[in-house]
Amino acid sequence: MPPTTKKTPPKTAGVDYEIIAYQRGLRTIIGIDEAGYGAWAGPVVAGAVCLPPVDDDLQEALTGVRDSKLMTARQRERLSDIIRETALTWGVGHASHEMVDSIGIRGAARVAMQNALNDALARRPDLQPDCLFLDGLGVTAPIHTSEHLPIKYGDRLSLTIASASVLAKVWRDDHMRELHEHWPDYGFAQHKGYGTPAHRAALNKLGVCAIHRRSYRPIRECLEATTSGRADT
């Protein structure tokens, strides 16, 4: 008989930060992450997830959950259902493109995170976090009275944050497909508002639409070019 080959399990985010927090007595941890920070159009979206304490069953159930950017769309969609079923609570929040233009992307991302946390706590009013795990080091203002732990590359190093990143990405991708129905010529269903060559080509041909972030340089440049062209005629 030919030798059997052992299938390599999909990569999964780590749990070291969760275990250290448990050892400190921080039992209720909510991870928060955003999607759409660098997009040229559409909202910035955040996910918030509180997982049960880490054990073999949890890690097996969430095998393959990692930084959502490293997953395929099919993987994210399948695992997003499992994350919601497994989590003690979860939430999604967003901030509009108008808010991004009004208060900046960092401020808008913080609003989205606050909204995601509020959504998660509304589902479980009896549950109050001991600690928030935040992806990256950019969120400085507190969004809750509990302890905050910003983790660089948190969506790769913390299963809790990675779970939040998957929910945020899936919700935003679905939303951008809905917006595609209103502005089909821009290709939002494909590039989800990010700065791809196809998106730039659509901007050059069609100009800026209602959901573009006018404070972002490529959109400003497109608006300036359009204004200049009108002035020259």
pLDDT attached to residue 145: 80
pLDDT (tens digit per residue) in 140-168? 667 888 899 999 999 999 999 999 999 99
**Tens digit of each residue's pLDDT (9 = 90 or more) over 48-87:** 999 999 999 999 999 999 999 999 999 999 999 999 999 9
pLDDT score at 233:
42
pLDDT band, very low/low/confident/very high, at 1 (cuts 50, 70, 90): very low
Query: What are the pLDDT digits (tens) for 105-128?
Result: 999 999 999 999 999 999 999 999
Predicted pLDDT of residue 4: 47
Average pLDDT over residues 18-45: 96
pLDDT exceeds 50 at position 231: no
Instruction: Give phi and psi for 135, each to the nearest 5.
Output: -75, 130
Judge contact between 117 and 67, C-beta under 8 A: no
DSSP bridge partners of 35: 45
Angle at 26 between CA 58 and CA 146, to 5 degrees: 115
Amino acid identity, residue 80? Answer: S
Q: What is the DSSP string of 137-166?
A: S---S-SSSSEEEEETTHHHH-HHHHHHHH
State the average pLDDT over residues 35-52. Answer: 97
Amino acid (1-letter code) at residue 104? G
Beta strands at 131-135 and 147-151: parallel, antiparallel or unpaired: parallel
Looking at residues 175-179, what average pLDDT do you find? 98
Domain range annotation of the chain? 16-182
* DSSP line for 51-107: PPPP-HHHHHHTTT---GGGS-HHHHHHHHHHHHHHSSEEEEEEE-HHHHHHH-HHH
Residue 44: which H helix or E strand, with range?
Answer: strand 44-50
The radius of gyration computed from the CA coordinates of the chain, to the nearest angstrom, equals 20
- Beta pairing partners, 47: 33, 92
Percent of the chain at pLDDT above 70?
91
Nearest to 160 by CA among 217, 89, 224, 229: 89
Spatial contact of 106 and 36, defined as CB atoms under 8 Å apart: no
In the CATH hierarchy, which fold is given to the domain comprising 16-182?
Nucleotidyltransferase; domain 5 (3.30.420)
| Residue 3 predicted with pLDDT over 50 | no
